Amino acid sequence: MADHHHLHQHVEVSDDGRTVAAAEVIISGEPGGTARVSLRAEAGHITPGRRASLVDAVLDLPQVRESARLEAAFPLGDGESLLRLQQRCRDVTTCPAGCSALLDASLRSGGPGARGRS
């Protein structure tokens, strides 16, 4: 009777009325599953903290908080997103894949803002 559907969500962070960073989120239908996230940001200068805000918005989604694992893809040079993911997740491993970085991690329990929020 298990329902193996996936939930798709789109998350955006704006600055002065324009979208500067966005994420596509796919969450497995069962609690304790894996959340898969693709993070991207607009080319050029982005206000510091916007990429971290996007990571926070994704990790604070109720369905992501119910997940046990996170798989994320983001641009290889995006140190701000990587740092926030390392702060908010545990058992983080990353590897390069072309011009992207792939991250695999366990999600921290404890609900929104679990450890590492600044």
Domain range list for the chain = 6-107
- Assign domain 6-107 to its CATH superfamily: Gcn5-related N-acetyltransferase (GNAT) (3.40.630.30)
Task: Write the pLDDT tens digit of every residue in 85-101.
Answer: 999 999 999 999 999 99
Give percent of the chain above pLDDT 90.
75
Average pLDDT over residues 95-108: 94
Q: Indicate the average pLDDT of the chain.
A: 88
Q: pLDDT per residue over 34-60, tens digit each?
A: 999 999 999 888 999 999 999 999 999
- The residue ranking higher by pLDDT, 114 or 64, is 64
Asked if 94 and 101 count as a contact pair (C-beta separation under 8 A), the reply is yes
* First-residue to last-residue Cα distance in the chain: 42
The model carries a pTM of: 0.85
Distance of CA 19 to CAs 30, 53, 54, 114, Å?
A: 31, 12, 11, 26
